[in-house]
Each structure stands twice: as structure tokens, then as C-alpha cells.
Amino acid sequence: MKFPTNRLRRVRYNKILRNMIEDVRINSSDLICPIFIIEGTNIKEPIDTMPGQYRYSIDQAVKLCKELILNKINSIILFGIPLKKDNTGEISCNSNSIIPKAIKELKNVYGNQIFIIADVCNCEYTTHGHCGTIIDNDVDNDATLETLCRQSLILAKSGADALAPSDMMDGRVQAIRNELDKNNFEKIPIFPYSVKYSSAFYGPFRDAAKSSPSFGDRKTYQMNFKNSNEAINEVQLDINEGADVVIIKPALSYLDIIYKIKERFDIPIIAYNVSGEYTMVKSASQNNFINEIETILEILHSIKRSGANAIISYHALDIAKYLKSNEVQ
């Protein structure tokens, strides 16, 4: 049909009708809240490069999770900031490391009310800030796999509900899956960062996690942002190795990648709305250049519309509060 018989605006005049026929909706259950954990007690330390975000000691993270649960967010992803570091990240491979301790305490308090995804990587734990063991001035893939496997096993033993290796080493999913299975953790799913681009949008995170590389960059293991077909290869390899869900990072500048993976593979997708994306919105809203909530809602809906099943976002709690306050009673 043609105009004037066909008028597309007819279904836009009434708000109830507009809501009725929406393609996607954001719910609190779609959101995963990232939390930075530090040693100490009673610490809630502001992150200068991420307004409104904090580094939490474990006791303060417990309080944060109570607020998350009250606002219907039941999924978190943890990043550890240890007091001491070493050359290989081996410090993360024991039960007294910061994240295993946090997992145990959160599970002790909340049990199955909270779903804990543990990030698996070495960058927060190495003195040089790279994601693995350095040999001949580069991250050695296979040596790094050994550390990642030990770290993963400790996290599983501590009570993590899922593991999210973010290192971008080849073969890590298969190696971790084998390590988990032979230790009777076959029920623990693996959510690899299958598509992780080398991105300028990570800057605030690296400040928050104190994980910036002390030399060079991460372009020998993270993906070239100019490529898209490479993402298909990465996801296919991870699926073949046993990935249960894939994470795509960053999100906002990579909606085409999310869409492409959704169309190509029958696997759940988590998109990571990363720190740089968060800080741009916060900075603009603090200067009254944009409406913060409306902008966040538009961003999150665009990510979900592109094919993401869930979204890791630093906006999670703010949006959950907004959704709760706007529920139809």
C-alpha cells in the first residue's frame, strides 16, 4: 500500500499503543553490574575517570549488592584490585586473593539471590599490566593459559556462578573447560570475551582497575577495530571449544558486530557497555549537554535491539532505579 492509505504515524499517536508494539524492552534482569573490589574494610573509593563509580572493599560490596537486589538486579561481574602484584598474575591463583574472598562473602550473605560472574584475566594482577606472562617482550599465549586455568579453578571453588575469560588468548576456553571438568565443575558455564577489540574506550576502566600496560599495547592479542569478519572466526572458535555465552566488547561502536554474531550463531550474547562509553555520557550530562536517563535508555535499547541478550553496564543501578520508579502499579 501507498500513502495516503498507508500512514505509519497512526501507530505512534497513542503512548499505550507505542508501548504495546515495541520491538525490545530493557528490564533489570537484562543488566549486569560491574564491581571493582579492593582490599581493606569500609572503603568506597571514588573513581575520578568514572563519575558515580567506586572501588569497593568487600564489606561495602555486600551493601551495594543489597541495593542491587532491591532494584531487581541479580547479576554482577567482579574485577579485583590487589595490594600486591607479580610478573605472571600468579597472585590471583590462591583462595586468599581478593576476588575469591569477595565471592565467598557475597555467596555467604546472598546465596542464589546473586549471580556472580568472575572475570578471568591477569592484567589487574601483573606488575606490567598485560594480560599474561611476558616472554621476549610479548605475552606468551600458552604460558598464560596455565595461569588462567589455575585462576579459573580457584574462582570456581570459591563459588563463582560463571567465568568470563577476558584475556583473548587462543585456546583459553578449551583449556579452562578441561580444567573445570576434570575437577568436577562441569556445571560452571564459561562466558568468554570472544570479541574484544583493542579500543580507546577502555581508558577509564584501566584507571579504575589500575591495569594500564607499563609498556607497549594490547594489539597483539586484542582485535583490530577495523575488522569484522575476524569476530566471526573468534566466536566460532570459542563455541567449538565450549563457550556457553559470548561477550562482545565494546558495545556502542560495535552494534554491527553484535548484529552479525546474532544472525550467524545460535548462542546468547552479552554486550559490554564499557567505561569510555559510560564516562562520555556522564561528562556530557554533568555539563547539561544531554538528558542523562533518556540517553542511557536509548543506548541500552540500541544494544539490545542489535541482538544482545544481556548488557554489562556501569549505568545498571541508575537504570534499574528508574525502571522501578516507573513501573505500572
Q: Burial level of 255, CB count in 10 A (0-12/13-18/19+)? A: middle
Rounded Cα distance, 54 and 44, in Å: 6
List 196, 260, 282, 304, catalytic entry: 196
Give yes or no for residue 92 having a pLDDT over 90: no
What global pTM score does this model have? 0.94
The chain-wide mean pLDDT, for the chain, equals 93
Tell me, yes or no, whether 125 lies in a domain: yes
Tell me, yes or no, whether 247 lies in a domain: no
**Percentage above 90 pLDDT, the chain:** 77
In the residue annotation, 249 being an active-site residue is answered as: yes
Rounded Cα distance, 92 and 95, in Å: 8
Whichever domain contains 154, its CATH number is: 3.20.20.70
Give yes or no for residue 127 having a pLDDT over 80: no
Between residues 76 and 122, the one the model is more confident about:
76
CB atoms within 10 A of CB 312: 24
Range of the domain at 317: 28-224+311-325
Tell me, yes or no, whether 94 lies in a domain: yes
State pLDDT tens for residues 225-261.
Answer: 999 999 999 999 999 999 999 999 999 999 999 999 9
Tell me, yes or no, whether 266 lies in a domain: no
Lowest average pLDDT, out of 87-96, 228-237, 289-298, 318-327, goes to 87-96
Tell me, yes or no, whether 64 lies in a domain: yes
Tell me, yes or no, whether 63 lies in a domain: yes
Tell me, yes or no, whether 158 lies in a domain: yes
Give 135's pLDDT tier (boundaries 50, 70, 90). Answer: confident
In whole angstroms, how large is the CA radius of gyration of the chain?
20
In the residue annotation, 324 being an active-site residue is answered as: no
* 8 Å CB contact between 177 and 230: no
Give 216's pLDDT tier (boundaries 50, 70, 90). Answer: low
Give yes or no for residue 281 having a pLDDT over 80: yes
Number of residues that make up the chain: 329
Tell me, yes or no, whether 301 lies in a domain: no
List 85, 249, 282, 304, catalytic entry: 249
Name the domain count of the chain. Answer: 1
Position 259 scores a pLDDT of 98
What would the grid cell of residue 2 be?
501507498
